[in-house]
Amino acid sequence: MSNKESLTIRRPDDWHIHLRDGAMLEAALPYTARQFGRAIVMPNLAPPVTGSQAAAAYRERIYAALPDGLKFEPLMTAYLTDKSDANDLAQGFKHGVFTAAKLYPAGATTNSDSGVTDIANIHGVLEKMEEIGMPLLVHGEVTDPDIDIFDREHVFIHRVMEPTLNRFQGLKVVFEHITTAAAVDFVRTQGPRVGATITVHHLMINRSDIFRGGIRPHMYCLPVAKREQHRLALREAATSGEAHFFLGTDTAPHTVSDKESACGCAGIFSAPAALELYAQVFDEERALDQFEAFASLNGPAFYGLEPNGETVTLKREDWVVPESVTVADGSAVKPFMAGETLSWRLV
């Protein structure tokens, strides 16, 4: 660890979040908006945000839920289906409603049932996106039940990612929440049109942690955490400063009762301490000098946006992640690393 006592960087952005809707949106949003200037908002609501009108309305609900005095810009995404309307996506992109479109292979994760059943079904849409420069954000896991859950990302690279990039040579693609050394290596073979987000939980836990002393549902997410060698590869990539890799928490709140269940939901709610946890990882890797590139510069550069103008400061100071966050409907959400003492604090 470095002996730096404080760290000031451009205000970061979160390039992958789940904000939900209604009472959960109101509970979750302040944590993200406190830290990040902008965030890419995932469209997997029920029903999913497939069209530009629905996205504009969702964006209004997000602004309405934003606490006074916080400046935050939600960047909206379209949920791709077998029947996505390329013209509506293009219009939404042109008018600044959509920043990108998200590919969920049908059945891959939470609220992905309306996702794409075969990439060939959206070739027309991808052609349009390539033409207009609209990024494709990919949940990179195959859904074939014969493929072991720990291999789904690796297999996706060869079955879907590689052929799609070859077919659409100008398409901008973000390989979301990468979890394997294979994905790190693959992204590095690509040019600047391919980026990857890395979550803080995949930098901090491996698959054994999910079962340490008993089953720990709050460490379960998709893609599921992999072996230690993969966690180490992700840490090396994130802290390398390379332009491909940028911050995306994939913070995904579910109520405690939905997580602590016979069939618990996938998703880790990291928003309450996200930036501080990433800072801790960079500190442990003696790479605080690369933190701003990962958190605040590489993402905007990929999306063709300016970095945020303001700065944020983190101080070396102990604090404890809250045990629980209360939602107005009476439910509760447990944050990632709840009850743990962290060594960096956002001022």
When CB distances to Zn ion are compared, the closest residue is 250
Tell me the DSSP string of 277-338: HHHHHHHHTT-GGGHHIIIIIHHHHHHT-PPPSSEEEEEEEEEE--S-EE-TTS-EEPBTTT
CA distances from 185 to 16, 244, 266 (A): 21, 11, 26
**Contact between 13 and Zn ion per CB under 5 A:** no
Per DSSP bridges, beta strands 245-247 and 173-175 are unpaired
Say which of 250, 258, 283, 318 is annotated catalytic. Answer: 250
Number of residues that bind Zn ion (CB under 5 A): 1
Around 191, how many Cα atoms within 13 Å sit in the side-chain half-sphere?
Answer: 7
Q: At 77, which helix (H) or strand (E)?
A: strand 73-79
Binding site for ligand DOR (CB under 6 A): 18, 44, 109-110, 139, 221-222, 252, 266-267
Query: Residue 41 pairs with which residues in a beta bridge?
Result: 17, 76
- Name which of 22 and 304 has its Cβ closer to ligand DOR: 22
Interface pattern 250-269 for Zn ion (x via CB under 5 A): x-------------------
Q: Is 198 within 8 Å of 229 (Cβ atoms)?
A: no
- Phi, psi at 38, each rounded to 5°: -140, 165
- Phi, psi at 202, each rounded to 5°: -70, -20
Report what 292 binds from ligand DOR, Zn ion, none; CB cut-off 5-8 Å by kind.
none
Six-digit token string for 55: 């996205």
**Contact between 283 and Zn ion per CB under 5 A:** no
Planar angle of CA 42, 38, 251, nearest 5 degrees: 45
Q: Is 299 within 8 Å of 135 (Cβ atoms)?
A: no
- Name which of 65 and 90 has its Cβ closer to ligand DOR: 65
Write b or e for each residue in 78-117: b if 16 or more Cβ atoms lie within 10 A of its Cβ, otherwise e. bbbbeebbbebbbebbeeebbbbbbbbbeebbbbbebbbe
Q: Is 21 annotated as catalytic?
A: no
**Contact between 141 and Zn ion per CB under 5 A:** no
Report what 187 binds from Zn ion, ligand DOR, none; CB cut-off 5-8 Å by kind.
none
Interacting span for Zn ion (CB under 5 A) from 4-12, 212-220, 247-255, 332-340: 247-255
Report what 221 binds from ligand DOR, Zn ion, none; CB cut-off 5-8 Å by kind.
ligand DOR
The nearest distance, CB 105 to Zn ion, in angstroms, is 13
- Name which of 130 and 250 has its Cβ closer to Zn ion: 250
**Contact between 153 and Zn ion per CB under 5 A:** no
Report what 314 binds from Zn ion, ligand DOR, none; CB cut-off 5-8 Å by kind.
none
Give 89's contacts (C-beta < 8 A, 6+ positions apart): 52, 78, 98, 101, 125, 128, 129, 134
The nearest distance, CB 195 to ligand DOR, in angstroms, is 17
- Name which of 196 and 222 has its Cβ closer to ligand DOR: 222
The nearest distance, CB 287 to Zn ion, in angstroms, is 25
- Name which of 139 and 218 has its Cβ closer to ligand DOR: 139
Q: Is 20 within 8 Å of 253 (Cβ atoms)?
A: yes
Q: Across the beta sheet with 341-346, what order do the strands follow?
A: 6-10, 311-320, 341-346
- Name which of 100 and 221 has its Cβ closer to ligand DOR: 221
Interacting span for Zn ion (CB under 5 A) from 115-123, 153-161, 244-252, 336-344: 244-252
Report what 44 binds from ligand DOR, Zn ion, none; CB cut-off 5-8 Å by kind.
ligand DOR
Report what 235 binds from ligand DOR, Zn ion, none; CB cut-off 5-8 Å by kind.
none
The nearest distance, CB 177 to Zn ion, in angstroms, is 6
Q: At 65, which helix (H) or strand (E)?
A: helix 52-65
- Name which of 86 and 196 has its Cβ closer to ligand DOR: 196
Burial degree of 150 (CB within 10 A; 0-12, 13-18, 19+) = middle
The nearest distance, CB 18 to Zn ion, in angstroms, is 6
Query: Active-site residue numbers?
Result: 250
Q: Which residues bind Zn ion (CB under 5 A)?
A: 250
